[in-house]
Every structure is written in structure tokens, then in C-alpha cells.
Amino acid sequence: MIESNKTAREIFHEVMANPQRVPFGFGEKAILVNVDFQKAYTRTDLFKTAYETDPRQIEYVNTLAKAFRALNWPVVWTHVAYMESGEDAGVWGTRTNTEDSLQNIKVGSVRSELDDRLELDRAQDVFINKRMASVFFETNLQSLMVWHKVDTVIITGGSTSGCVRASVVESLSRGYRTIVPMECVADKHESYHFANLTDMVLKYADVMKVEDVLSWLKSQQS
């Protein structure tokens, strides 16, 4: 094991600056998967479970979603919410039992609601209630992707170290080119955030600036 006194942020930027880092690249058609932009995780003024990394995160995600809709490409929003008993959280919901605990994000609660700052298209976008970390686990996302014939998955949301990472790993495992716009993911602590971005860019995904993703989307409109 290599020992280092560098911060996770410093290591991430070193990896991103490495010219030998070979990207997976974009494919021919993408899907935008926005992970858990719900108030339990975005409203730092209301809930202690919430977090913010880049203050423009939601603005960037709204711009991405608009670009996807212009191409008539699928836009997906996920959130976690559980039945009153919390049993559909399974063992994941057994470590604590407070008002802030995962299994106590109930269907229809304020904590389960998507952030009001999101520019949603209720007629065109797809909304998925997931129960576990990965957006693929026991949801209809895979069949949606097959229907739309996508080969590229662009993932935003939170947390970087949790549901985003789990979704990225499974996306690659299912054979998809996977892209993470770095300004569009967030976590509770910078160490978790940057350590997981580093691991993803080295193994599972292309981590890049959102402006580069938007440039690619714009090029698809011609």
C-alpha cells in the first residue's frame, strides 16, 4: 500500500492531470440519471442528512436535463422512499432508528420530495422510487435503457461515495460507458467525495467537467 500525507482532493487533481489516463469516451446515445435530488439530501436548511458540495450543482443538472430533452433523450430522477413499516429498506434500515434514519424516509414525506429548484418535466421525464443504493437494483431502469437503445450513462446526484458510486459500478458492470460530471455530484465530506471520484475515474467512469459533457451534447444536435 502506498502511504501519503496528501489529501483526497490533492490526489484526485493529480489523477485528473495525468495524461496517461485513457477515457472510455462517449457512445452514440446517452441517458441522464439524476440520483436522489430529494430534500432529505439537498435541503441543508431543513435536514441534517443533507449536504452541498458545488453550490451550482442543481443549476448544472437543470442545464443537462434541458439539453437531453432537446435531443429527445431520456431523463431520469430517482429518490428513496419507504413504506410505513420501513421493511422495504431491509437490513440497510437496521443500524439506527431515529427521525433521520434512512428507513424513516416515508413515501409522501417532505424528506422524499424532489428539490423544488429542479426543473422537472412531469410529462417527459422518468421518475423512479428506488430502495437500495444502486439505481439499477430492482427498478425498471435497465429495460428503459434497452428501449431507448442507449450506450452511455451520465450520472449526477448524491452521495458521491454512496448511491452515485454504487450506480456507477453497476452501470459499467452492465456494459455502459459511464460519465460523471464532477460539479454535479455531492457528498457530506470532501474526503469521501474526492476519494470516490478518484476511484471511479481510475476504474469505472469518466469523471469530467460538466462543460465538456454539455459540449458533447451540443455536438449531437447538429
Q: What is the pLDDT of residue 194?
A: 98
What residues pair up with 155 in beta bridges, in sequence order?
33
Q: How far apart are CA 36 and CA 167, in angstroms?
A: 11
Answer yes or no: is pLDDT of 222 > 80. no
Q: How far apart are CA 60 and CA 76, in angstroms?
A: 15
Q: How far apart are CA 113 and CA 46, in angstroms?
A: 13
Answer yes or no: is pLDDT of 99 > 90. yes
Handedness of CA 167, 173, 175, 179 (dihedral sign): positive
Q: How far apart are CA 34 and CA 192, in angstroms?
A: 19
Q: How far apart are CA 195 and CA 104, in angstroms?
A: 29
Reading the block at residue 182, the C-alpha cell is 464532477
Average pLDDT of the chain, as a whole number: 97
Q: What percent of the chain has pLDDT over 90?
A: 96
Of 176, 220, 175, 180, give the one whose Cα is nearest residue 199: 180
**What does the pLDDT look like over 139-198, one tens digit per residue?**
999 999 999 999 999 999 999 999 999 999 999 999 999 999 999 999 999 999 999 999
Q: How far apart are CA 184 and CA 61, in angstroms?
A: 6
Q: What is the pLDDT of residue 20?
A: 76
- Domains of the chain are 28-219 (3.40.50.850)
The beta strands (E) that lie in 5-98 are given as 30-35, 75-80
Q: What is the pLDDT of residue 21?
A: 78
User: Residues 194-218: what's their mean pLDDT?
Assistant: 98
Distance of CA 3 to the CA centre of its chain: 30
**What does the pLDDT look like over 22-54, one tens digit per residue?**
899 999 999 999 999 999 999 999 999 999 999
User: Residues 99-107: what's their mean pLDDT?
Assistant: 96
**What does the pLDDT look like over 110-138, one tens digit per residue?**
999 999 999 999 999 999 999 999 999 99
Pairing of strands 206-208, 75-80: unpaired
Q: What is the pLDDT of residue 12?
A: 97
